[in-house]
């Protein structure tokens, strides 16, 4: 008997199966498990680890009552807004614009320096940033050399230190995105504006930026998602401290689950983070599906 058209059609898609299985077991599974476990009192050890009990929304109620959570949420917003949306995004754009005006040798040299911080393994970058901001580290040496006041950055200004470190680590991505986007802007357009007497910054703001707004939106979305998930950099530099002064949501989730052994509460924090990531992800996909102007 001949196989029906429908069956043949589905059989052709059989090779997709391993990928789907992996994604279901190791990605969708944990996400669903997180939502479920956040409604229990699952622990790292002991009785609650073997037989977690259903506690309903108790963990989420605790979240709202726990002063550490709003603080952590605010720090996460500050971290993402300051180091990604402002820091990496604007610096990356500035570097990409400057590269088009600078000598090619200079621009490729600086491009390598910026990319180097990005290609290094994250733990190495984190150690380097830790040494740079530590009490007798390079930054204080510089400040001393310039006659400025020194500070114990990692204790007195932990958020400043980790935000600067994240700008250092991640700007390369924005730079690469913007370099590619600027290359796609036809030279005639900016030249025409120049003939009409538009100055450099006017050309940038009124001509170039509107033309690359698709890339700007994509870049903002992706660096937001990447920065939302930053853990290693913060963990090595400050471990969320002093007290909770640099505990962003990933660090909080880790601490609650593994340091204090409260998997249920930790997954509640993680669930909030997953939902935030999901919202941004959905927005990003909407953005991609819309036809480009």
Check binding of 206 to other proteins (CB under 8 A): no
> Quick check: 220 binds other proteins (CB under 8 A)?
no
What span, in angstroms and rounded, lies between the C-alpha atoms of 65 and 61?
A: 6
* Subset of 239-258 contacting other proteins (CB under 8 A): 249-250, 253-254, 257-258
| Helix boundaries (H) for the chain | 5-12, 17-23, 29-37, 47-50, 58-65, 68-79, 89-101, 104-119, 122-133, 138-145, 153-156, 158-183, 187-195, 200-202, 209-211, 213-228, 232-237, 249-254, 263-289
Out of 123, 148, 189, 205, name the contact with other proteins by CB under 8 A: 123
Count Cβ atoms below 10 Å from residue 212 Cβ, excluding itself: 20
Of the candidate residues 199, 206, 210, 242, the single one contacting other proteins (CB under 8 A): 199
- Of 131 and 148, the one with the shorter C-beta distance to other proteins is 131
How many residues lie near other proteins (CB under 8 A)? 107
Nearest to other proteins of 61, 141 (CB atom): 141
Residue 290's φ and ψ, nearest 5 degrees, are -65, 140
If 0-12 CB within 10 Å is exposed, 13-18 middle and 19+ buried, where does residue 226 land?
middle
Find where tokens 């990005």 sit: 118
Site for other proteins in 40-69 (CB under 8 A): 42, 49
According to DSSP, the residues that pair with 40 across neighbouring strands are 54
Q: Give yes or no for residue 90 binding other proteins (CB under 8 A).
A: no
Which residue, 171 or 246, is less far from other proteins as judged by CB?
A: 171
Of 74 and 116, the one with the shorter C-beta distance to other proteins is 116
- Does the footprint of other proteins cover residue 33 (CB under 8 A)? yes
Q: Contacting other proteins (CB under 8 A), which of 39, 63, 93, 95?
A: 95
Q: Kindly identify the residues of this chain, within the stretch 160-189, that bind other proteins according to CB under 8 A.
A: 168, 171, 173, 176-177, 179-180, 187
40 φ, ψ (degrees, to nearest 5) = -125, 175
Per rule CB under 8 A, is residue 86 in the interface with other proteins? no
Report the site for other proteins in 124-143 (rule: CB under 8 A). Answer: 124, 127-129, 131-132, 134-138, 141-142
Euclidean distance between CA atoms 250 and 57, whole angstroms: 21
């Amino acid at each position: 008997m001949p196989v029906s058209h429908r069956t043949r059609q589905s059989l052709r898609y059989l090779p997709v199966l391993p990928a789907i299985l992996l994604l279901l077991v190791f990605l969708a599974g944990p996400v669903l498990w997180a939502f479920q476990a956040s409604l229990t009192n699952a622990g790292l050890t002991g009785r609650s680890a073997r037989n977690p009990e259903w506690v309903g929304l108790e963990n989420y109620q605790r979240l709202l009552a726990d002063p550490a959570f709003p603080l952590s949420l605010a720090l996460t917003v500050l971290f993402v807004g300051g180091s990604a949306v402002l820091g990496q995004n604007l610096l990356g754009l500035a570097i990409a614009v400057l590269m088009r005006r600078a000598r090619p040798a200079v621009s490729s040299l600086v491009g390598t320096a910026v990319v180097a911080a990005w290609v290094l393994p994250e733990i190495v970058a984190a150690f380097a940033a830790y040494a740079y901001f530590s009490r007798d580290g390079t930054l204080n040496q510089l400040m001393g050399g310039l006659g400025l006041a020194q500070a114990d950055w990692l204790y007195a200004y932990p958020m400043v230190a980790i935000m600067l470190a994240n700008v250092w680590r991640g700007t390369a991505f924005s730079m690469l995105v913007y370099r590619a986007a600027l290359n796609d802007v036809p030279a005639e357009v900016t030249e025409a504006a120049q003939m009409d007497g538009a100055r450099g910054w006017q050309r940038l703001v009124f001509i170039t930026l509107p033309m690359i707004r698709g890339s700007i939106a994509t870049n903002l979305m992706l660096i937001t998602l990447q920065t939302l998930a930053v853990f290693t950099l913060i963990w090595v530099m400050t471990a969320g401290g002093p007290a909770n002064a640099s505990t962003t949501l990933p660090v909080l989730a880790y601490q609650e689950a593994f340091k204090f052994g409260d998997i249920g509460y930790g997954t509640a924090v993680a669930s909030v983070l997953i939902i935030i990531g999901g919202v941004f992800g959905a927005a990003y996909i909407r953005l991609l599906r819309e036809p480009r102007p």
